Amino acid sequence: MKVLVLGGDGYLGWPTALHLSQVGHEVAVVDNFARRGYDFEMGVDSLVPIESLQTRAAVWQELTGQSIGVYIGDLCDAEFTYRTVRDFAPDAIVHYAEQRAAPYSMVDRKHAVYTQTNNVVGNLNVLYAIAEINPEIHLVKLGTMGEYGTPNIDIEEGWLEVEHKGRKDRVMFPKRPGSFYHLSKVHDSHNIEFACRIWGLRATDLNQGVVYGQQTPETAMDDRLATRFDYDAVFGTVLNRFVIQAVLGKPLTIYGTGGQTRGFIEVRDTVRCIQLACENPADRGEFRVFNQITEFMSLRQVADTIVSASTSRTLGSRRRTTTTTSCTLVSSSLGSSRICCRTP
């Protein structure tokens, strides 16, 4: 089948494009390089160097003989979005192309407005392009578990059966996220559900946990196919930051009690989930929601896991030295605690 991957230059979009191409699908990617722009703006960069999108696509073709089409442009530009969907004529669109950092969206008014405009308008343009060009196209949209927030009731998959004053209904699960970024994804989910209901579109909303891992079998084929590894305070996930702190022998910084529990999923599972969703489309008019998590862990458990891995692994493959760290849990009077790892 033909799959268009929006945000194909990003952390998840690129390995997804490679995986879908590897299993035999015809793939094209779309990106406006906004993510590379945020790096310049914030003075940060991926730890693992990444090649230009054009070089990555050329290397893939050189190694496998498979081509990945590249469309460069902004989804907020409706003409570009329509032109791309018409030209590639996909069976499925995988939509990763959003500003995805909660801290970035909370910097100030400008960053909040940018995040919501970019994400909500881009997604709306995609919905309109599908509705007007080919409503058979299956939209696979990346949501996040963060959309739900941390309610005091079990989180369902998108929908909730409610009985109120003697009458029953099935409503979208009430969401109470913790950032303007997460709210933009909630708005997207509502817009997609509405488009399925009124235009009969078919969509799958995948609420994935925090994704970790930096390699898939395809990216491991050549250094030039690598995807990003972000460890800074804005784009790095807590897990990536802990890994870097452990490798450097620095204290692992846990904010709060460390009891905050989050869902996690490995990048190789992410790309396989996307493949499954594409190959098994939602029905016309169906807004399908899946929560995708491999395991739940508290921040303290994440830190403990990384600390025990860092004490038993050989670090620094070039120098082939073993760094052992001794770790203790330190609680401060302010209620924050840190796991301190010291290299002897």
Binding mask 143-172 for ligand NAD (x = CB under 6 A): -x----------------------------
Q: Are residues 275 and 19 in contact, defined by beta-carbon separation less than 8 angstroms?
A: yes
How many Cα neighbours within 13 Å face the side chain of 164?
A: 6
Q: Which residues of 143-153 are buried (b: 16+ CB within 10 A; e: fewer)?
A: bbbbbbeeeee
Rounded-to-integer distance, Cα 132 and Cα 18, Å: 29
Beta-bridge partners for 340: 328
How many Cα neighbours within 13 Å face the side chain of 335?
A: 3
Pairing of strands 138-144, 92-95: parallel
305 an active-site residue? Answer: no
Q: In the bound complex, what is the minimum distance in angstroms from residue 257's beta carbon to ligand NAD?
A: 23
Q: In the bound complex, what is the minimum distance in angstroms from residue 228's beta carbon to ligand NAD?
A: 6
Active-site position among 11, 104, 148, 181: 181
Binding mask 282-321 for ligand NAD (x = CB under 6 A): ----------------------------------------
253 an active-site residue? Answer: no
Stretch that binds ligand NAD, among 42-50, 208-216, 273-281, 309-317 (CB under 6 A): 208-216
DSSP string covering 198-236? HH--EEEEEEE-EEE-S--TTGGG-GGG------STTTS
Binding mask 2-31 for ligand NAD (x = CB under 6 A): -----x-xxxxx----------------xx
Q: Contacting ligand NAD (CB under 6 A), which of 19, 25, 35, 241?
A: 35
Kindly state the tokens that stand for 232.
């800074």
What's the order of all strands across the beta sheet hosting 337-342?
252-254, 337-342, 326-331
Q: In the bound complex, what is the minimum distance in angstroms from residue 237's beta carbon to ligand NAD?
A: 6
Active-site position among 144, 227, 270, 323: 144
- The catalytic residue positions are 144, 181, 185
Residues that bind ligand NAD (CB under 6 A): 7, 9-13, 30-35, 74-76, 96-100, 118, 122, 142, 144, 208, 210-211, 228, 237
